[in-house]
Structure formats: structure tokens, C-alpha cells
Chain A
Amino acid sequence: MTNKPTGWEEIPQINRDLLAPLQTTTWRYFLWVGILGCFVAAGLGAWTYQIQTGIGQTNLHHPIFWGSYIGSFVYWIGVSHSGTFISGVLRLTNAEWRRPVTRMAELMTMVALIVTALFIFYHLGRVWLFYYLIPYPNQRGIWPNFRSPLMWDATAILTYATASTIYIYLPLIPDFALARNRIQGWRKTVYRWLAMGWHGSQAQWYTLETAIRIITPLIVMVMISVHSIVGFDFGMALVPGWHSTIFAPYFVVGAVHSGLGMVVIGLYVLRKVYHLHDYVRTEHFEKIGQLMVVTTLLLAWLYFSEQLTVWYGKIPEHIAVQDSLLYGSYAVPFWFMVNCIYVLPLITLVWPRFRRWPLGLMIIGLFINIGMYMERMLIIVPPLGHPRLSFQWVDYFPSFIELTILTGTLALALLLYSLAIKFVPVISIWEEKFGRTHGQHH
């Protein structure tokens, strides 16, 4: 104990820097929130209109019963994997560089999960009866059917949402205590409640760290199960192009792929806006860039295996779906998607110099996310549009109402994130301190 490593003298500076976004707000922030609010209002209006007039406001028509809402659902739940993957897996492997990234990523998980849940409601034909999905003893005398993959999904998402909330909250307790000591006004009361009487005693630290250590592997296992089950929603169906064993691993890797892309975007923007260059350094972008190379290759491998199997097998119904992607009515989005999520990341990110260029990484993250969004749509629509009885073959493109809801929801995600960073330090303050005082300061 006598020769404690240095780093302690940096603590006041860390406190000041990382609490600053909570304490000062510029007019630009309010403008940004206002603009987002308008989009959210538009989306809400569109949804209200859809509920009032009917789900037919979408462009869905049989046999394409699922469309942009379920596609977005899959996409957003993928984004929610960012936080758990980054902070969970990196915490498990004791990767020191995770420290400034975890909180931002965990916040994304939270926001993405709220948005994900919304898409279930957008999608329901009779949303006002959503409570039929909840298992409780009721006068209808009937429980939900747990044999349906949708119920597996509901259970998994409930678990994941609850667990992620807890998981983001645990490392926040000491930070809430710090905010409680430093921030006045009504927020102080809120922080006092949230800090649960934290005063940093050894017993408290021990309990907190134990809880984090226990919950981390559990939440990683939940994360993997959640997206596997979302994959099962498709894999369990008889639809050609869906009925495949690869969906569970493919969905999980795809989720991490888009999640990492989203984290890079978040890192870049937050670092620029809140001048966090001392905390989020080039090194962090570089590490995420490396991870993105891995996910790109993994995803490409899985996707190739799937498509190759279909191509070589030449089962007519399956080939019909593949043909529509390769050179049929979905060829343009398909090849654009392939470039966005496989080719472009691979040819850029393999270069070490590129990985040290934050802006470049941010742009790649953007492309990956656009590509993954399209990929989710392409998983859903072409197979549904090519049922075995070819008399029923159809195409689909989202309607204006759908696009408004989609945009509004994207705005809602950004809005929730923007509001969250005014309430929660974007970098875990105590973990950053811990990293600095324990000789991991690069």
C-alpha cells in the first residue's frame, strides 16, 4: 500500500471533465433536441393514424405479412447488442481499453431496447390487445402459447431488457453518488435515490464488484440467447430462405457487427461534442476497428455458407429467393448491402493506418449500419415474397406512413440518447479513475 501508483492526482480533473456534460448545456443542444422532437412527433402522429385507420397504412399485403417493422425490430435489437458485447465481453476478458467505451455502449443498449419494444407494438394488427401476450391468470381462462417462437422472443427480450437495465445501473451507482454530491436542484434528489446511499465504503465496493462480476457472464449469455431467439423466429418457419439452422449464429454476429458500427459512431460524435479526446483516444478506435474486421469476416463466412448451400442445393423454392437477390427485383439493395457490410469494411479496416483514423471508422460504422438495416429487410421481404406457390409472388416497399414511423423512431432513439447523456456521465467515472490509478494509463 505504501507505493500506490500515481493517477490519483488526476481524479479532480476526471470529475470535472466527465460531469461537465451534465452541468452545462448549450443552445445547440436544445436546437438538436427540438429538431428530434419534431421528427418524433411526426412518427407518433403517423402511428396514431395507423392505429385509427388500420394496419393497412403499411404497404404490407399477403403473403408479405412482415415488413419494415419487423426488419427494424431485428435491426434495433442488433444495435442493442453493442453495449452488452463491448462492456460484457471486454469486461470478461479484462480488456483494459474498454473503460471509456462501456457506458456509451450500454446507453445504446438501453435506448435500442426501448425502440425495439416499440416496433412490436407498431407491428401488431390489434395493438390495443397487446396484453393477450402477457402470461397472467385472466378471465379469458387461457395463457399465451409458449410454443410460439414469438413468446420465446417476448420472454427473451423481457429478460434482456431487465438485465441490461440492471447491468447499466450497477456501475452507475458510484457515479450517481458523485453526481448527488455535486449537482444541485431537483436532480440531486433523483441522484440521491439512485445512489442508494452509496458512500464508497470497502464493503460497498466489494459488494458492487462482486455483483458486476456475477452478472457480467450471465448477461453475455442472455445477449447471445436473445438474438438467437430472434433468429429462431425465422428459422422455425417453413418459409424458403428462412428455414435454416444458420440463423441463430448469423443473427448474433450480425447484431454485434451493427452494434460495433453504432458504437464507433457514438464514440466519434460524443468525443467531438464533449471534447473527450483525453479519454477516447485513437487507440480505442483502433481496437474497435480490429473487432470490426473480425465481425466482418465472421459474418461474411456465415452468409457465404448459407448462400452457397442454397445455390448448390438448387431446391427450386430456395433458388427463387436467391435469384431475386442476386439478379432479381432485390438485386440493387442486395449488392449495395454486400458492399456496405462486407466489402467496404474489409478493404478499409484491414489497413492499420485506416483504423487509426477516427472519422474514417465513423463513416465505415455508418455504412455498416445502413447495410445491416437493409440486410434485415432483405432477410424478411424476399423470402416472404416468393412462397412455394408462385402464383402469389409479390414485391414490397415500405409506405410513406411506415417510413415516417421508422424515421420518427430513429429520431426517438437519438433523442433518448441525447437526453440520457445529460443525466448519466457518458464515461464511467470511477472505472476510468480505476484504470488510471492502476497503471493502465496508455
Chain B
Amino acid sequence: MNQENQAVEGYSKKAASPYKWEMVVDLDRCTGCEACVLACHAENNIRISGEEEAAQGRAINWIRIERYWEGEYPDVKAKFLPVMCQHCDDAPCEPVCPVYASYHTPEGLNAQVYNRCIGVRYCGNNCPYVARQFNWFDPHWDEPLAEQLNPDVTVRSGGVMEKCTFCVQRIRTGKETAEKEGRRVKDGDITPACVQSCPTSALIFGDANDPESRVAHLKNNGRGFHLLESLGTHPSVTYLRRLSE
């Protein structure tokens, strides 16, 4: 009952929880190396799609590096844009789900409840960031990859929608540790797999409610913008503009 009340308040007052998990993507630092993509796969038990499925456009990536070319040959530049679920405050994917598989947690996360999902895929259509990925078949991992599944993360069956969770399992662990020690989560306690693996520190994660956190500083440093901001989805991911062209 307590939790339900919390959820109701979550609507009226967006941040019912003391935490507000946000991410900052510094485009000036991103080299497009895709280490984050790989780390995400390993951490989150994302199925291995293989060459054939990838060619069909079915490779599942919770985070992807979009590559846009600018200029005319030979004077071209590759621009990289890491895109993951933006954990929008007003997420278009949430209300369209007929079975509440997609909903908003009081901490501002956009949650996907795998075992409620029946695969109508409306959320996928309605996500302007194409962050949502669908399991077209049951998952499989080539040996020996099947030996390295993360026990903290559900393996999703075929017919289920999935997407970036901000590594919710790590957020849980971080919060539980902090709770045990009777303190707030400190900046840097929690690092999602992509953030951990980024060699240039282009990805920064933290609690935006903590004014001292790096996320809170960076998102207000004047370079910040949101992806497709005009849609009013209020994403939790802030991108930082490139410094030089």
C-alpha cells in the first residue's frame, strides 16, 4: 500500500524518491569505440543475434553508437551519437502499454517488466529514440558465452520488449550498500556498465538530486541539450555539445 501511495505521489511530484538517476553523454569525448555496447551486452545478458539477424536489422543493442557523416567527400567527418533509453520523465512508451509492462518508477526510471510484456510492441513504435529492442526469437549464446551470464539480470524470452535499464541491478546494489551503512548513495558509488567501460569518460552517471554530483554539474555546464528536446519527453539523459567542429 505504501508503495502504491508513493507511485501516486510520483505523478504529482516527479521525484518522490531522494534519488534521480541521470546520465550525461559528452559528445566531445565520444570516439565511437563501442566499448559501451560490448560492456552492456556482457552485463545485461543481451542475446547474441549473429550475422544473419544483424543483417535483418534485428541485432539487439541497449546502447548504440549512431554514426552520421557530415560534409562531402573527401572532406567528411564522422559524428558519433551514443543513444540508449533516455528514461524520459514523460515517456511516450509508458502510457501506450496495455498491460503496464512499461511504467515509471518513483526514482524516475523507465522500467520494463519483462514477465508482464505480451509483445504488442506499441511502446517500440512510440519511442522517438528507437531505444526499445524486441526479442524476435528466444535468446541464445554461443559457447562459451553462455557461461558468463550475469546472475543479477533476467534472461528475456522471445516475444518480449527490452531496453536499457541504467543497469538497475547495479543501482539496487549501490542503494542497498548505502542503506546498510546508513548513508546516502555517494557520487561514483553506482556505475552502469557502459559508463564503467568508457575509455574517454564520455558517459557520466549519477544522482541529479545531489547538487555535488558530477552529473548535476555537467548537465548545467552550458553545453547540455536533450535529444529531440522539442517533443517534451523530458529525458534523463543530457548530451553535451561538441566543443570543436
What would 20 A/B residue contacts be, using CB atoms closer than 8 Å?
A56-B136, A62-B133, A62-B134, A65-B121, A65-B122, A66-B122, A124-B119, A125-B134, A125-B158, A126-B118, A126-B159, A127-B118, A133-B98, A142-B116, A145-B97, A150-B96, A236-B96, A237-B125, A391-B67, A394-B57
Known contacts: A142-B100, A148-B96, A239-B125. The answer to whether A124 contacts B120 by CB under 8 A is yes
- Kindly state whether residue B48 has any CB partner on chain A within 8 Å: no
- State the Cβ distance, B88 to closest chain A Cβ, in Å: 11
B111-146 contacts to A (CB < 8 Å): 116-122, 124-126, 128-130, 132-138
Contacts of A387 in B (CB 8 A): 128, 130
A238–B231 CB distance below 8 A: yes
Asked whether A392 lies within 8 Å of B231 as measured between CB atoms, the reply is no
A55 with B125: in contact, given A125-B160, A144-B98 (CB under 8 Å)? no
A150 and B58 contact, CB distance less than 8 A: no
Min CB gap A421→B, angstroms:
35
The contact of A237 among B67, B96, B99, B161, by CB within 8 Å, is B96
- Of B95, B136, B138, chain A has the most CB atoms within 10 Å of the CB of B136
Question: Chain A 214-250, CB within 8 Å of chain B: the 1/0 string?
Answer: 0000000000000000000100111100000000000
A271 to B95, CA, bound (A): 49
| B84-113 near A? 1/0 per residue, CB < 8 Å | 000000001001111110000000000000
- In the complex, whether B228 has a CB less than 8 A from a CB of chain A is yes
B53 contacts across to A, CB distance below 8 A: 56
A239 to B127, CA, bound (A): 8
Report chain B residues within 8 Å CB of A30.
none
Q: Is A60 an interface residue (CB 8 A)?
A: yes
Nearest residue (CB) in A for B122 is A150
Q: Does A37 contact B (CB under 8 A)?
A: no
Q: For chain A, residues 379 to 425, give those with C-beta under 8 angstroms from any C-beta of chain B.
A: 384, 387-392, 394
In whole angstroms, what is the CA distance A435 to B200 when docked?
Answer: 83
Q: Which residues of B contact A149 (CB under 8 A)?
A: 96, 122
Q: How far is the CA of A140 from the CA of B100 in the complex (A)?
A: 12
Are B126 and A132 interface neighbours, CB within 8 A?
A: no
Give the distance to chain B from A59, nearest Cβ to Cβ, in Å. Answer: 8
Please tell me if B221 contacts chain A, counting CB pairs below 8 Å. Answer: no
- Contact yes or no, A148 B125, CB < 8 A: no
A51 to chain B: closest residue by CB: B159
Determine whether B66 belongs to the interface, using a CB cutoff of 8 Å to chain A: yes
Please measure, in the bound complex, the distance between the C-alpha atom of A133 and the C-alpha atom of B118, giving whole angstroms.
9
Q: How many A-B residue pairs have CB under 8 A?
A: 133
Q: CA separation between A61 and B124, bound complex, in Å?
A: 11
User: Is the C-beta of A7 less than 8 angstroms from some C-beta in chain B?
Assistant: no
B139 to chain A, nearest CB (A): 10
Q: A154 near B: Cβ within 8 Å? A: yes
Find the A residue at minimum CB distance from B159: A125
Residues in A with CB closer than 8 Å to B118 are: 124-127, 129-130, 132-133
Q: Mark B172-187, 1 if CB is under 8 A from A, else 0.
A: 0000000000000000
Chain A's nearest CB lies how many Å from the CB of B68?
7
Docked-complex contact B119 and A126, CB < 8 angstroms: yes
* A353 sits at the interface (CB 8 A): no
| Known contacts A133-B99, A144-B98, A145-B98, A389 near B130 by CB under 8 Å | yes
- Bound complex: CA A394 to CA B59 (Å): 13
Interface check A53, CB cutoff 8 A: yes
A144 to B68, CA, bound (A): 40
Complex alpha-carbon distance, A378 and B37, angstroms: 33
Known: A62-B57, A147-B95, A389-B129. A125 touches B137 (CB 8 A): no
A151 at the interface (CB under 8 A from B): yes
B2 at interface (Cβ–Cβ under 8 A)? no
List 5 A-B pairs, minimum CB-CB distance, nearest first.
Answer: A125-B119, A56-B136, A125-B159, A65-B121, A54-B137
Interface residues of A in 113-166 (CB under 8 A from B): 123-127, 129-130, 132-133, 140, 142, 144-145, 147-151, 154
* B47 CB, nearest partner CB in chain A, Å: 11
The answer on a CB contact under 8 Å between B57 and A148 is no
Residues of B within 8 A of A130 (CB): 118
